[in-house]
Structures are given as structure tokens and as C-alpha cells.
Structure 1
Amino acid sequence: KGTGPGVILLIFITFGLLWISAFLDPRLPGLYVFETRPMPLYSVIKFLIGSHPLAGVMFSAGILSVMLVLLVNFNTSVFFINERTFLPAVFYVLFCAIFPGNQVLNPVLPASLFLMLAVRRIMDSYRKQGTAFNFFDAAVFISIGSLFYANIIWFGILVFIGIALLRSVNITEIASSILGLATPYILLFGFYFVLGRDLDILIQDIRRNFFVDSPTYTFTRLTIVALIYSALMILVSIVYLMQRIDSKKIKSRKTFYILLWGFVLSLAVYLILPSVSVEQVWVTAIPVSYLLTHYFVFVRRKIVPEIMFTVFYLLVLLVQVL
């Protein structure tokens, strides 16, 4: 649970075991709407990588590596778990590997990276004197992320939840957050207009990314078992957290509330929007990795979490192999 060489080695081994098949047998992404009608920034990446699936896997693995650093660093800087640990990185890699088909070039990983940066900026506003323009920055990050993966824009709600949790209601901060969400799109439309590009096509692509049905994902029996098991672990972790959250420092408590809201939003987006499918796991895994880490670090009877972790680890490996 600490930051010693054993945990670092576990991360490297886990990363290697779970991604080796993606490198040995790289595949092109599926026919999701975000692939057939990509958002502007993702279309740039697709153009640069072209029809080279291995390059796409390498790009995604690189973005994932950066994400793991951000996940660990967020807890180190805010220190809301009250222990320095690399476990969030371990759980993120494991949880996302439940769907091997996601280990290809995809827009959700870079979008999740910007969401992670947004959460950091939201928490940086805690007890900041005067008007906190952190929320503008956070909104801009989320909006930029949506130019990779459109449905990340719904997490703009998290910015306003952050204002409600961390600040006295300030109309300037609310207005700046709305402006932050709009700014990348204002620049995008201006760029298209100056270059004489067809704005109608851009609008249609954005609309399709939000509302066109995603292809039905076929869940294998083993995947269903892994999902049920992980859901039980998450439920146990949330119950454990809620029983102890009032005893935590104010900043830690508010950070966990932000993460819980992020988890709820990710589930709502998956369940409500027809364009969202299992690619959402890259987003859901962000709060989940911290919730699981909190439980595994602080639960007293260590034999229970050790068994839970081992079973989860083996289940994910089996999903990858079979």
C-alpha cells in the first residue's frame, strides 16, 4: 500500500501483463460514433497515426502512463487519503483492463486526462481568497477534453458541484465556469469560420457524438463475473468511506465528495446516453481507483482486502487471456 519498490514493481508487472496482448496483436478501433465521426482533436490524432494499430496502442499506453502519474500525484498533493500510496495507479490499470477491447487507440483516455487536470484545479480553489478562477481553468480542461470525446462535457456539472462544495456561491465563479466550458468551442467555430470549413458538418458531428446509438457491446460471462465482483468491491468501499467520512479533515472530506459525485455522473452518463458504451470505464475508473485505495489502505483486517485484491487481479488476468 505504500510507495516502496515492491509497489512500483507491481505496477510495471500489472501493466505489462494486461497490455502485452494489445501490443502483440494490435487491433483497429471498433465502429463507434467517436471513431466514424471523430471530434476535432481526436481526428487530428487519427490523422497522425493513420491505419497503424500498433502506433495507436503505443499512443494509448503512453497516455495511460501519464494518467497513472497524475492519479498518484493528486493524492500526494491534496493528501486526502492521508497516506502516500501507488495503489490508485494499480486499481486504475486493473479496472480498465476488464474490457480488453478498449486497449486500442481511443479518445476517452486523452479526455480523461483533461478531466483529471480539471479535478485538480477544482480542489486547488479550496480556501482560496477572493474570486477563484480555478473553476474557469477546470471548465476549460473539461471542454478541451470533450473535443476528443464529446461526452466528457457532461462532467462540466462537476465544476458547479465543486463551487457549491468548496466556495460560497459566487456569481462571478459560476459565470467564469460557463465561459470556460464555452471558450474552446468558440475558438473552434472561429477557426472553422476563418478557414472556410463547413460549420454544418461540424455541428452534425458533435450532435452525433452526443446522441447516436453506440454499437451493442457483447459481455462475456467472465466479464460479467468480473464486473459484479468489482461492483461489490466498490459498494463495500463506499460504505466503508461513508462510515468514516465525518471524522476526516474538511479538505479530505470535500475531495471524496467530489470523487463520489464524479462516480455518480459517470454511471448516469453511461446509463442515460445512447452514445456511451464501455469506453466510459476510463472515466469511471478515476473515482473508483481512489475509493478502492481508501478501503484497502485503512481496513483493519488485512487478510480480507488481500484476498479480495488477489481474486480481482486473477479475474482481470483471466478476462485478458480467455
Structure 2
Amino acid sequence: MMKALHSAGRIANPVLRRQLSTAAGTNGLDFVVNKPGIKANLIDGNLLAKRIQRELYDEVCGITAKSQRPPNLTVVLVGDDPASKTYVKRKSKTAIKVGMRGDVLHKPATIGQDELLELIESLNKDDNIDGVLVQLPLPPHIDETLICQSISPFKDVDGFHLLNIGRYVMGRPAFIPATPLGVLEILKRCKVDTFGKTACIVGRSKHIGFTLSTLLHSDGYGTNNPLIGADATTIICHRYTPPDELKRMTLLSDIVITGTGVPGLIRGDMIKEGATVIDIGLIKMKDANGETLIVGDVEFPQVSKVASLITPVPGGVGPMTVAMVLKNTIHAANGIYKELYN
């Protein structure tokens, strides 16, 4: 029998609603913070995510009233990787906070691939489950690509299914991977002008760098397409881009988005005055005293003296990723993409 570690069956109460409302604030850009000694305005991902949670709560209320059940996000966790357990707990906890069900099915690292495929098939067929997410990475004996493709594209809230990838590449409505979607939401909410601007993406991972480049350069004006692009001129750099060339490209750019996992890769002398800098990197390091630090790709003290907007690490893009998973789950519960695909 599948074991649900976390779940919630009832909509969040009015007290929680007031808490979310208070946390989200009422001012337009209250999540953009100016701190003493820092030239750049800081984009507080936690504050922005809480505002979005408030919006999602209202949507969940409507769905629950209409369908007589809250939207359900079910996450499959394989093994006991500490980072994966932390991410899964955060997704489940936030889902419950906005009134959704946030179920976690925890399986041992020794689970066979066929057994995992059977589990996913049962989740695909369960009409009471709206979103299905398998936390990556998986143990070496399991084919991650096969597992991701086994999730129904209508429940694929991670946006990893080939049907969803193909659709958003072609500019059609689809589930979009949560981190790129979160970055676009940050740019949109911070009113960053992307039209005709140059955006440099440092990192070419399938579900972050590639997706961001697709969305940023896509058509965003003069179209009725629900998937709106950013109309930016995009540059992609990666681990084999020579350092001098990387610096030349970032200095050309109005927007720099980096997600390589290389600490201190982006320095202050690599950023154009007044640029927007989004740091997706998340690296654990030890300081001189042996204490664990979490840092990003950006050399924050130097870059924050040059940029106009910057995300911190932690507390920048991370909270937005979770919020976008929940947003995708609500789209799944509404059956929006299923209707469009058919």
C-alpha cells in the first residue's frame, strides 16, 4: 500500500487566509527591498512567493467549491537523499498551506524501475490526483528520462514530458518547468523591460537554461497565445565558453541569469551598470570555521554594487520554484491544458 507522509484534505481556514494576505502585503513592489549599503534593489523571493500563495489560495477556494475537493499534488520520493527530502517537504508543506492536498509517497532507493512505473501509472489513472511529480535525482538503476515520460502530460506539473516541451518550444500553451517559470514571473512582477533587451543565460541545462532561452526570446506581443514570451535577444553561455568571451557577453546584457553551480562565477566587473541579475545557483560550502554556507553563482557583494536588481541566495528564485509547481497543479486541476491538447 502506498504511504502518504503528508496530506491535507480541507481548505485552509480564514485565519490562514488573513496570514497569507498580511504576508503578501498590498503594495505593488513590496518584495523589492532596498537595504543599506547595497546599491542594487534586492528581490525578496520569499515575500513574492507569499504574495503568489495568497493568489493561489483564492484559486484553490474556487476549485474546491466547484469540484468538492481541493487540488491534489502527489510527489514521489525515492530514497533518502537529504536535499531531495527537504525539497519534497517544502513542496508538500506549501501545498497544504494554500489549501491543496500535498501527498508524499516515499519509496526505498531499492525500488525496481518496473515497480516505479506501475506506481506512476496508478497515479495517472487516479482522477483525484491532479499533479504528479517524481523528485529527481533518482538512483542510478532507474532511467530518469523514462520515468519522466511515463507521467501523464496532463499531470506533468514539472513540465518534463516531451509533449509539454514540444508545445512550449512551438509557442503553444503547456506545463513549463517551475524554475524558468519562476524566473519569468520575477521579471514580470518586477516590471523588468525585456522587449528587445539582451539577456544572457549562463548554463544550458535541459530544464532551466534551454527552457529560459526558449521563453525569453519567444514572441510576446501582437499574439493571442496564452503562452507569452519576453521578446528578448538571448545569449547562451556554458562551461566551455572561454572566460573572456563569457565576460564580453554578460557585459553586453541587460539581464543576466545564471545557474551553473559554480560559486563566484559572475563577478562585479562582468555586469553592465544597471543590469538585472537573477542567480539560480545553489551551492553548499564550508567557511573558514567549518560552518556550512549556501551561496550562488554570483559574487554578491561586488555584483550588487553594479546591478539595479538582484536576487539573493538563498531566498531568491528557490521559493518561486515551489510556487510555480503549485500554480501548474492548479492549471492541471482546472484541466486547462488537457482541453487544449485535445
Name the structure where helix makes up a greater proportion of residues.
Answer: 1
Using structure 2 for the length normalisation, give the TM-score.
Answer: 0.26
